[in-house]
Copies of this chain bind each other. A is one copy, B any other.
Amino acid sequence: MSELTQFTVTEHTASYWCVTFNNPPLNLVNPETILELQKIVGRIEAAHDLIVVVFDSAHPDFFMARYDLTRAADTPTAPGPTGLPTWIDLTTRLEQTRVISIASVRGRARGVGSEFCLACDLRFASIEKAFFGQPEVGAGVIPGGGGIERLTALAGRARALEIVIGGEDFDAETAERYGWINRAVPDEALDDFVDRFARRIAAFDLHAIAETKRLLNRTTLPKSEHLLESQSSFLKATQRPELRVRGGRARQIAIEAGADFELRLGHYLGQV
């Protein structure tokens, strides 16, 4: 995949790939990230023997930090093969492909980074080093990339609401209790745990796994019209002057806090 600049695809076998995100210095998601993820989903769909893809990160502190708001104006929205806008297209296809996607999370997964994890089929995370957050409301907007729909399905009304309106950083054990992730795993065991699970299912029958996912998908996917409405609501919110005011304050706090700002975004959000 020579066209990828932010991701490395390791084909362990024809049935087991690993896709590693690396966009220094902070593993921010930007317009290129989205376009490359869309290409990767296309490659996954086309790989006839592929059973499982693990998504992880090359950065010890950030799985996917958040969206790079300085590039907001360039965000791709062109309809993909599903006819849906880029981000909804790629996350929907990831859910619908017969290939199993696993997010193996070490470091922060916030905003669109959390939403990408939520669009994966399974989520395993480091007890010591993974943190999850939907900080949008603290910045004056809402999660517009499926976070509301998918968190509601996994964590229920009360906990999804707490997560989204509170904008706090959740450690992996709390995220497990809330259903946000499948399981929290001790950091030193995470890589082996995920690799072992992936190799196990990669040796199982492709058709049995595909059929299981298809049957589960009958009742568990978000509605496209809901995803579209949330994205539209997010885009409207970005036009409100409130966002600029809060954004200005956040930038000031970020300058004062330095590197700690992105590490403890949930904390600093309470000061904006």
Contacts and interface: CB of A to CB of B under 8 A. Distances in A.
A213 interface: yes
B122 A162 contact: yes
A142 B152 CA distance: 27
A167 interface: yes
Contact of A165 (B156, B167, B181, B213): B213
A82 interface: no
A89 interface: no
A211 B142 contact: yes
Interface in A61-80: none
Q: Chain copies in the assembly?
A: 3
A186 to B, nearest CB: 15
A166 B121 contact: no
A158 B152 contact: no
B204 A138 contact: yes
Interface of A: 100, 121-123, 136-138, 140-143, 148-149, 152-154, 156-162, 164-167, 176-177, 179, 181-182, 197, 200-201, 203-205, 207-209, 211-213, 215-216, 218-220, 226, 229-230, 233, 237, 240, 242, 246, 270, 272
Given A148-B216, A205-B246, A207-B240, 18 more contacts: A100-B161, A121-B158, A122-B161, A122-B162, A140-B204, A152-B216, A157-B220, A159-B179, A161-B213, A162-B182, A165-B213, A200-B270, A205-B242, A207-B237, A208-B242, A211-B233, A215-B233, A218-B229
